[in-house]
Every structure is written in C-alpha cells, then in structure tokens.
Amino acid sequence: MCLYHTIKSPNCHGLRGKWQKSDRKKRNSKGKSVKSGKVECRSKVCYTPKERKRCEKEEKKDVVRMKDGNERYFEAALSDFVFDVAAGGAIRHLTDRGYSVEQIMRELSYPVPRIKVEQAVYRHLTDSRMLLSTLPEESESLRIKCLRGEKGEGFSRKLAEAIAESGEENAYMECPFGIWMEKDERRFAQTIACLTNREQEYLLGIRWAQHMMYHRLNDRMREIGMKLVKNTEWVWNFFFIR
C-alpha cells in the first residue's frame, strides 16, 4: 500500500505531494484498472504495478529512517538520564557555589565532555532563575529599581545596601557578554581582562544568549561586577526586584 500522502517522497508517483492526471490506465494495488480521472487520496492507488513497487520501496526506507530516529532518540534520552544520575546533582551543587565549568570538571569523579557540563550548568542557572533572559514586567505589586554603576569607593556601599534591601535572590546584574562574544570578541576580551583567570573562566563557561541577560548578584557575580564597574568604560546597570 502506498503511503506517499504521509511520507510525501519526491520519488513517489505524486509530484511534490500532489496527485497527477495521466492518460495511462491507472491501476490499484492489485494491478487492476481503475476509472480515469483524478485518483482519490483515500484509496492511495498507484498508476502502475511498477510505480507501486517504487512507492513501496520508498515507504520501507522511510520506515527504516523513522525506526533509526526513534532508536537514536531513545539512546539520547537514556544517555541524558544516566548522566543526570551520575553527575547532575554534583554539577548543580557546584554551580550554586559559583564554580566555573573548568572547576566543576576537575571536581567530577570521572571525565565528562565539556559541552555536556556547559549545558547542565546553563540549564540549572536558568531553571533556578540565577540567570534571566528578561526581567519581569513591573506591576502594582512588583517594582524594579535600577542602580547604575559608579566609579569610586561609595558605590560598593550603595550596592551592598540595595542587595540587603531586596534580598540576593532578587538582585541582578545586566550581562551583554553574549552579544559581544557573537559580534565583538575583541571588545569582550578587553572587557574581562581586568578579571582573574577563574572569574574569566566562569563567564566563558556560560552559554550566553545573543542578547542582554541578567545574572543574580551572588558573591561570585558581585565581585565580578565591582571589578567591571571600576576598570571598564561600559555603563553597568544593576536591578533589584521588589
């Protein structure tokens, strides 16, 4: 039985997924002639036995491809499950402590590909709202205060007071790193040059989206933020959700 209406194979008798009229006698799956005119979609009839066989071959190929795809999906899901059981908890715990991807990889008891660690770190940062793609919208019950970074000793006190007022879980720093990493790598490298190697590793280990993001002001990010305010020309903004 031809399933081309499902698989829409380019080699099937229906050109680009459409039934075509023909002056030849059309035949059903048993090789018997059918009435002339357009073939009904429901009957899934091929023009000739030869064409029907070609469609059957295409159908088998698609079944094989579908089977292989399902098997690959199952294997990937199983691999992710095993990885989460073996290392997921440790990665989440170390991420909460502000560890960089490199530090986490050194702490794990067995080697794990860097890309899998990066993916796990990013997933946990976003799931725990440590990293936001957008700030929430203001409403009658929610206000957002913005504090602009200032050079000088007084800013450290202002930042500490704002964090204490809103709570660390509601304090964020804007992060344009994904934009720079995509469009201006030189600027990104110059910007983070004032940071320690571990602080640079932390930023480089996050899979930043290519737009402004917002990182919670935990101890690690607060230290990074203070150095960037002091040593770069970019105007850094800090947000506090109330």
Residue 48: how many CA atoms within 13 Å on its side-chain side?
6
**Structure confidence at residue 39 (pLDDT):** 40
Identify the weakest region by mean pLDDT among 69-73, 125-129, 139-143, 173-177. 69-73
* pLDDT band at 27; cut points 50, 70, 90: low
28 pLDDT above the threshold of 70: no
Ordered by start, the domain boundaries in the chain are 4-68, 73-127, 137-241
Q: What angle do CA 210, 198, 170 make, to 5 degrees?
A: 60
* pLDDT band at 38; cut points 50, 70, 90: very low
In this prediction the pTM is 0.65
- Which contiguous run of DSSP H or E holds residue 63? helix 49-83
Backbone angles phi, psi at 36, to 5 degrees: -70, 170
pLDDT digits (tens, 9 = 90+) for 39-51: 433 333 444 445 5
**Structure confidence at residue 1 (pLDDT):** 37
- Which contiguous run of DSSP H or E holds residue 209? none
pLDDT digits (tens, 9 = 90+) for 155-195: 999 999 999 999 999 999 999 999 999 888 889 999 999 99
**Structure confidence at residue 63 (pLDDT):** 46
Structure tokens given for 185:
């790598």
Higher pLDDT, 108 or 225: 225
pLDDT digits (tens, 9 = 90+) for 72-104: 655 555 455 555 655 778 899 899 999 999 999
* pLDDT band at 111; cut points 50, 70, 90: confident
**Structure confidence at residue 217 (pLDDT):** 96
In the predicted model, what is the mean pLDDT of the chain? 77
Separation of alpha carbons 158 and 237, rounded Å: 13
Report which residue type is found at 26: K
